[in-house]
Each structure stands twice: as C-alpha cells, then as structure tokens.
C-alpha cells in the first residue's frame, strides 16, 4: 500500500519507498554554469577528486599504525571519479582511517572537532596523509569532513554558543541602561547578527530536535555546492527513514556539482545509484558490487528469518550462523548456507 504524501513547500518533492513517505529537500545552487541534462537538469561537472594512491612507505613506518592495517599497507590506487564513493568494511578494517587521511590531505574543514592539523586523534592519519597522492580534476577547498561522533558534540557546542550570545545581550541591557537606544543598538548589533546567522543556518536550537532531524539540518546548512564532502558513518545518527531522506539530499547535491566519499555500514546509503563501492575487508582493497556486499547479504538474510537468528543467538548456537557470517563476509550469497528447517531447529 502506497503512503499518501502531502508536501506543501514548492521546493520539496515526495519520495515513497516501502510505504514510507520521505520529503525530498531540493538543494539548489546559485551557480548556473554547465550543460543541462535530461528534462532540463544541469549535468554535473567533472568530479573534483579523481584518484587516491599511496606512495612508498618508509621502512621505519612499516611496523606502525596505520600501516599495520592490511587494507592500508596494501592500498592500491583507487579511482575516485564517481560522484559518490563508499568505503565499506568491518570496524577496524581501515576505511575510516583512509577517509580521515584524505580529509587531512585535502585540507577540508571539519565539523564539530578541532582542525585536522591540530586534532590529537588524527596524528596517525596525518602521517598517512603525507604519503597519499591525490589526483584532482578540479581542486576545491569547499565542502567538509564529518564524523558521526563529532556531530553530537557540535550540536552541544552550538547550544553553548547561543547561550553565551543571549547572556551577552542581557549584559548589554545592563551596561547601556543609561545610554541612548542608538548607542545600545550599535553595541548589540554584532551579537544580534551572530544570533540571526546561527538561527538561519541551524534553527533556534539544533540540540532540541531529534538526532536525525538535527543531523539533516546540519548537513543541509553546511553543504557547499561544488564541494567535496567526506562523511564517516553518517547513519549512526539516522533512522532508516532519515537515511532515505539523506540519500535523496545527496542526489540533489550531486546535481549541484558536489562529490561525496562516505564510510558506511548502511545498506540503504550504499544503494546510491551509480556509486562506486570499495570493500576494505579485502586486502588489497577491491571494488565490489552492491549485491556482493556482506552487509547487504547479511541484512537480507536476517530480515527473511529474524526469528531464527534471534533464536539461534539466544540458544547460543553458533556453528551454522558462524559459517553463514563467514560466507556472507566473503561475498557469498546469503543462501549459500541454507537455513535450518523447522525439524532441525
């Protein structure tokens, strides 16, 4: 049954998926250059980042992190010419490490944390960044790098900054109680301007929304047409419906000359049409098709028989499911290991 979608704003169009209505936010750019594609849509320009390669690793660094990670140590030249590229793999596979190093090498602004040149958590990634060779089609300093864990801190920091600005206005009311309204207005002008800009970009209180709403608001506010955007596991803050909304937003942003590199576990985000996917569970890293991904196969297998998986876990039965998990991780179809029949269970 198809859900009924009512979207009032002229710049939003509905997407119906699985009976779920997702309002697609139309993201437009003031730039008008470029050829138009089908139905009058402007065809995206050439991607900004075209390739990433690892230079020779000095012998003294070979035994140190991150070069102890197989996917990093054996990293081949990666074609990044797709508008959207995904890094996929288990935790510890090196996908986030490479993403962080690319952000450092590209000198991208970071949302919610220290600058990449000063962030203590990125010391090893800075070493890796110095050994990366980035090939550009159109070098850009626009865009951002966003880690899911940094997003929550960023929302709280915005709330603190807003509180500080409001406190400053209260102080000015006291300090200028005996002064003219004109003098008070001059003193308070910059504070009001900062508050207005913050509310225009992020709303009155970003932290008061749900995590998903806040993330999408932040994502929309910081998006830069013609920019390179790196995101590490953005699905951590998003419900499945919000992931669909993010997917739709990325589609629109690609039409505004944006490029995305995303480390993700999400089968929803990984389904982006035309995306290139690199599997970091392989050493060396290799391109993979969506249908071959272990994340996708395992999710499908679980959704087909959730009761069996939960029952096996609760009973402590690991033999057959461990074999299934290994097969799925190697890219085998989920049905390569047949499920137990009712008689077997």
Q: Is 231 found in the same domain as 138?
A: yes
Among residues 253, 271, 288, the one where a domain terminates is 288
pLDDT higher at 12 or 113: 113
Answer yes or no: do 231 and 325 share one domain: no
Q: Closest Cα to residue 151, out of 216, 241, 227?
A: 216
Of the pLDDT bands very low, low, confident and very high (cuts 50, 70, 90), residue 166 is: confident
What is d(CA 222, CA 225) in angstroms, rounded to the nearest whole number? 10
Q: Is residue 93 part of a domain?
A: yes
The domain that holds 73 is classified in CATH as 3.40.50
Residue 286 pLDDT greater than 90, yes or no: yes
Query: 74 and 135 share a domain?
Result: yes
Q: Tell me, yes or no, whether 246 lies in a domain.
A: yes
Q: Is residue 144 a contact partner of residue 229, using CB atoms and an 8 Å limit? A: yes
The distance between the two most distant Cα atoms of the chain, rounded to a whole number of Å, is 87
Total domains in the chain come to 2
Is residue 323 one of the residues assigned to a domain?
Answer: yes
Report the share of the chain in percent with pLDDT over 90: 39
Q: Is 214 contained in some domain?
A: no
Closest CA to 282 of 128, 98, 93, 125: 93
Q: pLDDT tens, 225-281?
A: 889 999 999 998 788 998 999 999 999 999 989 999 999 999 999 999 999 999 999
> Do the Cβ atoms of 81 and 51 come closer than 8 Å?
yes
Looking at the structure, tell me whether residues 242 and 332 fall in a common domain. no
The reply to whether 5 falls in a domain is no
Domain assignment of residue 236, given as a range: 49-148+226-288
Q: What is the pLDDT of residue 202?
A: 53
Say yes or no: 235 and 260 in one domain: yes
Question: In what order do the strands lie in the sheet containing 259-263?
Answer: 143-147, 228-232, 259-263, 84-88, 276-279, 286-287
Task: Note whether residue 211 is domain-resident.
Answer: no
Same domain membership, residue 137 and residue 53:
yes
Mean of the pLDDT values across residues 4-10?
39
- In this structure, the answer to whether residues 138 and 96 fall within a common structural domain is yes
Q: What are the b/e assignments for 303-322, b being 16+ CB within 10 Å?
A: eeeeebbeebeeeeeeeebe
User: pLDDT digit string (tens) for 290-340?
Assistant: 999 998 999 999 999 999 888 888 887 555 555 555 555 544 444 444 444
In 3D space, the residue among 231, 255, 225, 47 whose CA is nearest the CA of residue 136 turns out to be 47
Instruction: Answer whether 301's CB lies under 8 Å from 334's CB.
Output: yes
Tally of CA atoms within 13 A in the half-sphere of 171 that contains its CB:
8
Is it the case that residue 115 has pLDDT exceeding 60? yes
Residues 278 and 307 in one domain: no
Per DSSP bridges, beta strands 259-263 and 228-232 are parallel
Structure tokens at 6: 């009512």
- Compute CA 125 distance to the chain's CA centroid, rounded to the nearest angstrom: 18
Task: Confirm whether 200 is domain-assigned.
Answer: no
Number of CB atoms found within 10 A of residue 58's CB: 11
Q: How far apart are CA 5 and CA 224, in angstroms?
A: 29
Same domain, 55 and 142: yes
pLDDT digits (tens, 9 = 90+) for 10-65: 344 444 444 444 444 444 443 333 334 444 455 456 679 999 999 999 999 989 99
Q: What is the 3-state secondary structure (H, E, C) of 138-170?
A: CCCCCEEEEEHHHHHHHHHHHHHHHHHHHHHHH
50 with 232: CB under 8 angstroms? no
Are 326 and 304 in the same domain? Answer: yes
Look at 150-159, 203-212, 290-299, 312-321 and tell me which has the smallest mean pLDDT. Answer: 203-212
Given 248, 270, 288, which residue is the final one in a domain? 288
Averaged pLDDT for residues 184-209: 66
Q: Are 344 and 311 in contact (CB under 8 A)?
A: no
61 lies in the same domain as 136: yes
Rounded mean pLDDT of the chain? 76
pLDDT 10s digits, 63-73: 999 999 999 99
CA 118 to chain centre: 22
- Residues 238 and 324 placed together within one structural domain of the fold: no
Angle at CA 161, nearest 5°, toward 160 and 162?
A: 90
Residue 25 located in a structural domain = no
Domain boundary among 249, 273, 288: 288
CA distance 16 to 5: 8
């Amino acid at each position: 049954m198809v859900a009924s979608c009512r979207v009032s704003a002229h710049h939003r169009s509905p997407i119906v998926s699985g009976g779920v209505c997702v309002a697609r936010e139309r993201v437009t750019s003031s730039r008008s250059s470029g050829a138009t594609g089908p139905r009058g849509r402007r065809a995206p320009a050439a991607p900004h980042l075209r390739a990433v390669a690892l230079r020779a690793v000095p012998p003294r660094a070979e035994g140190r992190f991150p070069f102890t990670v197989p996917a990093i140590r054996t990293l081949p030249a990666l074609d990044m010419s797709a508008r959207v590229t995904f890094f996929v793999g288990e935790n510890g596979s090196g996908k986030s490490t490479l993403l962080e190093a690319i952000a450092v090498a590209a000198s991208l602004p970071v949302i919610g944390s220290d600058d990449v040149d000063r962030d203590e958590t990125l010391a090893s990634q800075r070493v890796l960044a110095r050994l990366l060779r980035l090939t550009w089609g159109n070098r850009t300093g626009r865009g951002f790098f966003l880690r899911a864990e940094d997003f929550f801190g960023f929302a709280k920091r915005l709330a603190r900054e807003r509180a500080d600005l409001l406190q400053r206005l209260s102080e000015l009311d006291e300090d200028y109680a005996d002064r003219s309204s004109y003098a008070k207005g001059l003193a308070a002008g910059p504070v009001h301007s900062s508050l207005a800009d913050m509310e225009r970009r992020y709303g009155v209180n970003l932290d008061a929304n749900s995590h998903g709403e806040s993330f999408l608001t932040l994502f929309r506010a910081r998006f830069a047409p013609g920019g390179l955007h790196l995101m590490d596991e953005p699905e951590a803050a998003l419900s499945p419906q919000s992931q669909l909304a993010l997917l739709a937003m990325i589609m629109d942003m690609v039409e505004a000359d944006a490029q995305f590199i995303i480390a993700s576990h999400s089968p929803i985000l990984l389904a982006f049409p035309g995306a290139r996917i690199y599997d970091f569970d392989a050493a060396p890293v290799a391109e993979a098709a969506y249908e071959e991904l272990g994340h996708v196969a395992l999710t499908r297998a679980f959704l087909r028989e959730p009761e069996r998986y939960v029952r096996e876990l609760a009973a402590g039965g690991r033999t057959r499911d461990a074999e299934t998990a290994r097969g799925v991780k190697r890219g085998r179809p989920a049905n390569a290991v047949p499920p137990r029949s009712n008689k077997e269970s």
